[in-house]
Amino acid sequence: MTLEGEYEPSPEQWVRDQVAAYEGSDGREANTLPDHPEWPIVVITSRGAKSGKLRKNPVMRVEKDGVYAAVASKGGTPENPTWYHNFIEHPEVDLQDGPEPHTYKVRVAEGEERAEWWERAVSVYSPYAEYQEKTDRQIPVFLLERA
């Protein structure tokens, strides 16, 4: 079962373009960070914390044994990305890694589990380490498990 409702595209043109190309090609195109073929992404659909509308974001692909991590880095800024609040308010999302989206339950990783997933995320996308150095907040790591 996938999330249903009205989709409101991102205000960011590059996000709208990447999501449209990814979904339009069943994940065969636009499946890496723009201009960086070494950094794969997935598309996550969440429900807006305030609007209730569906929101779609490309997120770095960090996966192990069918569990995915979503790192709320926002480039190391002092505040969390908007989708952080969506995940907290509505902890069920759709994740598309290839042709089909699937529904996942979301939870915040804590303690040792967070440390393990943080290292895994940094090994996939090394800029996360410098993002953490830029901010005083501990960057949240969400774990997504099939519903």
Residue 99 lies in a domain: yes
pLDDT at 15: 95
Q: What is the mean pLDDT of the chain?
A: 97
Residue 6 lies in a domain: no
pLDDT at 6: 97
Residue 73 lies in a domain: yes
**Segments of the chain scoring below 70 in pLDDT:** 1
DSSP class of residue 7 equals B
Residue 87 lies in a domain: yes
Strands of 8-91 (E only): list them: 32-33, 36-47, 54-60, 62-64, 67-71
Q: What CATH code is carried by the domain that includes residue 108?
A: 2.30.110.10
What's this model's pTM, rounded to 2 decimal places? 0.95
- What is the domain extent for residue 107? 13-146
Residue 30 lies in a domain: yes
pLDDT at 13: 96
Per the structure, the count of domains in the chain is 1
pLDDT at 1: 64
Answer for the pair 38, 18: CB distance below 8 angstroms, yes or no. no
Residue 5 lies in a domain: no
Residue 62 lies in a domain: yes
3-state helix, strand, coil in the chain (%, to 5): 30, 35, 35
pLDDT at 2: 86
Residue 7 lies in a domain: no
pLDDT at 143: 98
